[in-house]
Amino acid sequence: MGEPVLTIVVPCYNEEEVLPITIRELSGLLSGMIGEGRVSPRSRLLFVDDGSRDRTWELIYKTGLANHLVKGLKLAMNAGHQNALLAGIFTAKEASDCIVTIDADLQDDITAIPKFIEKYKEGHEVVYGVRKSRKKDTWFKRCTAQGFYTLMAKMGVNLVYNHADFRLLGKRAVTELERFREANMFLRGVVPLIGFKSAEVYYDRMERQAGESKYPLRKMIAFAFDGITSFSVTPIRLVLTAGIAACLLSILFGAYFLFLKVYGDPESGWTSLIISIWLIGGLQLVAIGLIGEYIGKIYKESKQRPKFIIDIDMFNLPFSLRNQAE
């Protein structure tokens, strides 16, 4: 059967600063693994340029011409981290036995990849990279991440704790992944649903090697909110519960103030009125907003838009055509 063909998929958005280091490190690792006979010589690195505005594509393309291990995939516009990953995964699927995804900033320990391959060879279709420590992350990032996992668990979403998008997927897992048709793909939530035999490999999370995080707080909140509303209807249920509670409360308050009124305290009526108007009004706004969020999701899904558009594919393109593709 021979050694498995591995493709390492790396999503890149404005990563010109870190990319030369990443390319060097990953090619070193991959050629080492090929040399040791751990993976097939047909294994490749696939850098996905997610509509970068800097020299990211130029770097990928030029390296690709010189280094046969390096391939590039250029998306027509920014599709977001998750969709860039999918573009890479599905492009590499046919030619690969297994695919490892890793961020471009080398925050994940690339020496865990040979361990992923060991697990794959033992028969695991999915291997999760799990962070042992987050010492190098900022205090803020650690706290928000912790909060996110806890919240997701409370909402009944099955996530692998402290695992991001550093993982191995076997060909069978990728084939099944393709059947998940949702527009809003949240891989961390979807991959555990595939359900094949899986393993975890632990590693130390490092600092970003260069460049800045492409996930500012605003994007992080949006990401978390998306993750929750894509996987759970608990928020809507909470609103319903809160609504019922508020109604019961206002009945109780109503009775109380009526009681006061009958026994002669006319001022109290005003207070209760204002309180209940604000309380019910606020609750209604929250509820409508939340329902709107879910309806928006349905609207998005109903359009069935493509998740990404590929501009240039160096991975599946014959070498002679590549110069014309620039």
Q: Give the interface with ligand UDP as residue ranges (CB under 6 A).
A: 11-13, 15, 50, 78, 80-81, 84, 103-105, 107, 213-215
Taking the complex as a whole, the smallest distance from the CB of residue 221 to ligand UDP amounts, in Å, to: 13
Choice between 107 and 198, CB closer to Mg ion = 107
Residue 11: which of ligand UDP, Mg ion, none does it interact with, CB under 5 to 8 A by kind?
Answer: ligand UDP
Taking the complex as a whole, the smallest distance from the CB of residue 200 to ligand UDP amounts, in Å, to: 19
Residue bearing tokens 């992923």: 116
Please state, in angstroms and as integers, the Cα–Cα distance from residue 32 to each residue in 26, 40, 104, 117, 269, following that order.
10, 11, 19, 13, 79
Taking the complex as a whole, the smallest distance from the CB of residue 104 to ligand UDP amounts, in Å, to: 3
From 226, 207, 193, 179, select the one nearest 81 (Cα to Cα).
Answer: 226
Please state, in angstroms and as integers, the Cα–Cα distance from residue 101 to each residue in 35, 139, 149, following that order.
21, 26, 21
Residue nearest to Mg ion (CB): 105
From 147, 153, 158, 166, select the one nearest 204 (Cα to Cα).
Answer: 166
Residue 133: which of Mg ion, ligand UDP, none does it interact with, CB under 5 to 8 A by kind?
Answer: none
Choice between 192 and 211, CB closer to ligand UDP = 211
Choice between 15 and 109, CB closer to ligand UDP = 15
By CB under 5 A, what part of segment 104-143 binds Mg ion? 105, 107
Residue 30: which of ligand UDP, Mg ion, none does it interact with, CB under 5 to 8 A by kind?
Answer: none
Alpha-carbon torsion 80, 81, 83, 89, what sign?
positive
Choice between 17 and 293, CB closer to ligand UDP = 17
Taking the complex as a whole, the smallest distance from the CB of residue 21 to ligand UDP amounts, in Å, to: 13
Choice between 107 and 162, CB closer to ligand UDP = 107
Taking the complex as a whole, the smallest distance from the CB of residue 3 to ligand UDP amounts, in Å, to: 27
| Burial profile 173-209: b = 16 or more Cβ within 10 angstroms, e = fewer | bbebbeeeeebbbbbbbbbbebeeebbbbebebbebb
Residue 180: which of Mg ion, ligand UDP, none does it interact with, CB under 5 to 8 A by kind?
Answer: none
Choice between 50 and 109, CB closer to ligand UDP = 50
Taking the complex as a whole, the smallest distance from the CB of residue 107 to Mg ion amounts, in Å, to: 5
Side by side, the strands of the sheet bearing 70-75 are 198-203, 126-131, 163-170, 98-101, 6-12, 44-49, 70-75, 310-313
CA 266, distance to chain mean position in Å, is 57
Choice between 215 and 319, CB closer to ligand UDP = 215
User: Would you count residue 22 as binding Mg ion (CB under 5 A)?
Assistant: no
Residue 106: which of Mg ion, ligand UDP, none does it interact with, CB under 5 to 8 A by kind?
Answer: none
Taking the complex as a whole, the smallest distance from the CB of residue 8 to ligand UDP amounts, in Å, to: 12
Choice between 122 and 212, CB closer to ligand UDP = 212
Residue 146: which of Mg ion, ligand UDP, none does it interact with, CB under 5 to 8 A by kind?
Answer: none
| Burial profile 33-60: b = 16 or more Cβ within 10 angstroms, e = fewer | bbeeebbbeebbbbbbbbbbebebbebb
Residue 12: which of Mg ion, ligand UDP, none does it interact with, CB under 5 to 8 A by kind?
Answer: ligand UDP
Give yes or no for a contact between 279 and 246, defined as CB atoms under 8 angstroms apart: yes
Give yes or no for a contact between 76 and 161, defined as CB atoms under 8 angstroms apart: no
Taking the complex as a whole, the smallest distance from the CB of residue 130 to ligand UDP amounts, in Å, to: 15
Binding residues for Mg ion, per CB under 5 A? 103, 105, 107
